[in-house]
C-alpha cells in the first residue's frame, strides 16, 4: 500500500442495546471496515461488540481496548485521571498504526459516541491527524425514556444530565435546580444518587431504567431499587412537570402555583458572609434549615445545602427588586422564604431591595414581616486579613454607578477623603467599568497624600485569598477586579514591620 495513503477513523454509535436501533450508515461502515475496535471492561466481554456482533464481517481485524481496571484504587503518580489519560494514549497509538497503514478503523460505541463515550478521548488524540467522521447513535437517555414511556421534558422544562459520581450535596443541589433530570453512571454510586434524590425531594418522581432495549431490561421506581443490584449501565430519569411560565408571559399551571392561605409567611433576608461556611452565623444556618424557599443570585443560592422540602429560586445579578418581589409574593401566599445575600444582606445587599419592593407593592405586602439576619461583611473579612485598618472611623462605599450617578459617587468619595475617614470600596472595578477606579484614585490624590496606605484584598476566605499592601501613589487600578475589596487608609493608618495594617483609635486634637 502506498505510504501516502492514510486511513479514515469512524466513531460509530450503536444505540442503547437493541441491534435493530443501529442506523443504516453505522451498519454499512461496520461491514466495510478494515479494523473494528471496541472498549471492554475488566474481565468482561465488550457490550459494544455484542450489540454489533451480527454485523461484523468474518475475518476482519479486531482491536479490543480493554481497561486494565475500572473500580478500586489506582496506583499511578497522577491518580485515576492520569492513569486514564495514559490508557487512552496507548489505545490511540494502537489505532494510529492502522490509520498510518491506510486502514479504515471503526470504533464501536454504545449509545452515541460523543455522549459520555470512550470514543471521545480517541477523537481528541487522533482527529487532527486523520480524516475522522462521527456517526451518531440513539443515546441511552432516549432508550430509557422510550422503554419507561415517560416524557422527559415539555415546553419550557429545563433538562439537566448529571453524573452519578458527583458528591451527594452537589448532585442534590443540581437536581433541585432543574425541571427534569437524567442521572447516568450508576452502579456503585446508586445509594448516593438515591440519597441526593431524597434530599432534592424528587425520589417519588424518579424512575430507574436498567439495560434499556436489551435482554434483562428493568423499569421500576427508583425508591424500590436495591442498590446492590444496580449495574453501571443503568439510568435514573426524573420527568419534568411541564412548566409553562416563560418570557412570553404564559403562566404556570394553576396546580403548580402556591395555594392560597390565611397565614402569612415571613421573608428572612439572610447574609451568608463573604465566603466560607465557617463565617455563616448560627442564626442564619438555623433559618436556612427551616424555610420552604430560598431566593437569590445564583452563586449565593448554590451555597445553601439542598434538603427535602426546599425549593430554590436562582436568578441573575441585576434583578434584585424582581427577586425581592418574588419572595414577598411567596410569603404573602403563606410560606417562609429566605432571600440570601453575600456578606451582610444590609450592606449593598438584598435587604434594601426587599424593603424597596415592599414599599412599591403597597397594601399587597403590608402584612408580610421582613426579618433581616446580619452577616459578616466583606469589609470586615478583608480588614481582618491584613490586621485592623478599620480600627477608627470609616466609610463604606460602592463604586458601582448602576444605581447612582458618578457625580454623586465622586462627591461622596472626596468628602470622605476630606474627613480623613478610612474608606472601604466595594464593587471597585469590572469589565463594564474599567476606568472608574482610575478616576476615583485621581480624585483621592487631590485630597490625600500619595503615601496613604492602600490594601487590595482578593478572594477573601477562599483558596485563592491574597492581599497586597501599597500606597495611593503606587496603587495600580488595573490590578483590581470584582473579586477585590479596596481599603484606602486614613492619614494615621500605618503598616507594622511584619506587614500588617492598622489604624489608631485616637485622633490628635486639631
The per-residue pLDDT for range 134-172, each reduced to its tens digit, is 999 999 999 999 999 988 998 888 999 999 999 998 898
142-238 and 379-502, same CATH topology:
yes
Chain segment 316-351, per-residue pLDDT in tens: 777 889 899 999 999 999 999 999 999 999 999 999
Q: Does domain 265-373 have CATH number 1.10.10.10?
A: no
List, in sequence order, every residue forming a beta bridge with 15; answer none if it has no partner: 111
pLDDT band per the 50, 70, 90 thresholds, residue 2:
very low
Q: CATH topology for 379-502?
A: 3.30.950
Mean pLDDT of 419-445: 92
pLDDT band of residue 41 (cuts 50, 70, 90) is confident
CB environment 387-398: b (16+ within 10 A), e (fewer): bebbbbebbbbb
Domain boundaries, the chain: 9-137, 142-238, 265-373, 379-502
pLDDT at 107: 97
Structure confidence at residue 338 (pLDDT): 96
Average pLDDT, the chain: 90
* pLDDT for res 77: 66
Give the pLDDT score at 201.
85
Tell me what pLDDT residue 254 has. 38
**pLDDT reading at 374 higher than 90:** yes
pLDDT at residue 250 tops 90: no
The three-state (H, E, C) secondary structure of 370-435, written as one string: EEEECCCCHHHHHHHHHEECCCCCEEEEECCCCCCCHHHHHHHHHHHHHCCCEEEEECCCECCECC
Residue 179 has φ and ψ, to the nearest 5°, of -90, -40
Given the DSSP bridges, would you call strands 180-184 and 207-210 parallel, antiparallel or unpaired? unpaired
The β-bridge relationship of strands 370-373 and 267-271 is parallel
The confidence score (pLDDT) of residue 257 equals 46
pLDDT band at 507 (very low <50, low <70, confident <90, very high): confident
**pTM, to two decimals:** 0.68
> Per-residue pLDDT for 131 more than 50?
yes
Give the model's pLDDT for residue 69.
66
Q: Residues 9-137: name the CATH superfamily.
A: Tetrapyrrole methylase, N-terminal domain (3.40.1010.10)
For 142-238, CATH gives 3.30.950.10
- CB burial of residue 93 (10 Å; 0-12, 13-18, 19+): exposed
12 and 135 in contact (C-beta within 8 Å)?
Answer: yes
Q: How confident is the model over 87-114, as pLDDT tens digits? A: 999 999 999 999 999 999 999 999 999 9
Amino acid at each position: 500500500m502506498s505510504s501516502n495513503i492514510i486511513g479514515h477513523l469512524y466513531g460509530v454509535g450503536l444505540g442503547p442495546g437493541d441491534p435493530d436501533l443501529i442506523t443504516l450508515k453505522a451498519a454499512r461502515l461496520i461491514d466495510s471496515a478494515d479494523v473494528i475496535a471496541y472498549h471492554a471492561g475488566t474481565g468482561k466481554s465488550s457490550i459494544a461488540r455484542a450489540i454489533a456482533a451480527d454485523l461484523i464481517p468474518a475475518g476482519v481485524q479486531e482491536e479490543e481496548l480493554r481497561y486494565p481496571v475500572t473500580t478500586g484504587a489506582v496506583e499511578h503518580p497522577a491518580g485515576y485521571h492520569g492513569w486514564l489519560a495514559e490508557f487512552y494514549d496507548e489505545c490511540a497509538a494502537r489505532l494510529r498504526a492502522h490509520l498510518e497503514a491506510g486502514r479504515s478503523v471503526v470504533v464501536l460505541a454504545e449509545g452515541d459516541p460523543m455522549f459520555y463515550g470512550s470514543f471521545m478521548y480517541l477523537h481528541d488524540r487522533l482527529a487532527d491527524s486523520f480524516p475522522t467522521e462521527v456517526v451518531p447513535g440513539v443515546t441511552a437517555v432516549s432508550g430509557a425514556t422510550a422503554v419507561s414511556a415517560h416524557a422527559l421534558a415539555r415546553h419550557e422544562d429545563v433538562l439537566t444530565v448529571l453524573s452519578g459520581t458527583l458528591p451527594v450535596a452537589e448532585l442534590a443541589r443540581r437536581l433541585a435546580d432543574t425541571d427534569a433530570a437524567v442521572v447516568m453512571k450508576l452502579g456503585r454510586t446508586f445509594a448516593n444518587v438515591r440519597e441526593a434524590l431524597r434530599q432534592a425531594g424528587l425520589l417519588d418522581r424518579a424512575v430507574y431504567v436498567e439495560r434499556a432495549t436489551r435482554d434483562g431490561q428493568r423499569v421500576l421506581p427508583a425508591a424500590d431499587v436495591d442498590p446492590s443490584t444496580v449495574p453501571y449501565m443503568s439510568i435514573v430519569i426524573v420527568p419534568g412537570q411541564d412548566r409553562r411560565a416563560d418570557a412570553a408571559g404564559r403562566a404556570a399551571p394553576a396546580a403548580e402555583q402556591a395555594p392560597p392561605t390565611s397565614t402569612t409567611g415571613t421573608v428572612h433576608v439572610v447574609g451568608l458572609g463573604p465566603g466560607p461556611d465557617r463565617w455563616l452565623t448560627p442564626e442564619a444556618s438555623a433559618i436556612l434549615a427551616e424555610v420552604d424557599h430560598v431566593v437569590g443570585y445564583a452563586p449565593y443560592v448554590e451555597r445553601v445545602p439542598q434538603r427535602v422540602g426546599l425549593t430554590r429560586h436562582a436568578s441573575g445579578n441585576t434583578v434584585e427588586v424582581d427577586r425581592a418581589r418574588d419572595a414577598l409574593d411567596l410569603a404573602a401566599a403563606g410560606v417562609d422564604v429566605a432571600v440570601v445575600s453575600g456578606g451582610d444582606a444590609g450592606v449593598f445587599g438584598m435587604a434594601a431591595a426587599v424593603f424597596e419592593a415592599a414599599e412599591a407593592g403597597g397594601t399587597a405586602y403590608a402584612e408580610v414581616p421582613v426579618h433581616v439576619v446580619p452577616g459578616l461583611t466583606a469589609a470586615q473579612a478583608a480588614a481582618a486579613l491584613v490586621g485592623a485598618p478599620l480600627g477608627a472611623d470609616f466609610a463604606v462605599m460602592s463604586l458601582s454607578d448602576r444605581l447612582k450617578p458618578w457625580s454623586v459617587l465622586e462627591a461622596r468619595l472626596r468628602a470622605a477623603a476630606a474627613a480623613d475617614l478610612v474608606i472601604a470600596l466595594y464593587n471597585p472595578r469590572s469589565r463594564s467599568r474599567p476606568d472608574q477606579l482610575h478616576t476615583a484614585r485621581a480624585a483621592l490624590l487631590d485630597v490625600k497624600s500619595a503615601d496613604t496606605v492602600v490594601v487590595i484584598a482578593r478572594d477573601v476566605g477562599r483558596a485563592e485569598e491574597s492581599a497586597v499592601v501599597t500606597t495611593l501613589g503606587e496603587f495600580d487600578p488595573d490590578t483590581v477586579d470584582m473579586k477585590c475589596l479596596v481599603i484606602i487608609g486614613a492619614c494615621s493608618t500605618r503598616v507594622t514591620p511584619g506587614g500588617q495594617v492598622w489604624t489608631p483609635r485616637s485622633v490628635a486634637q486639631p
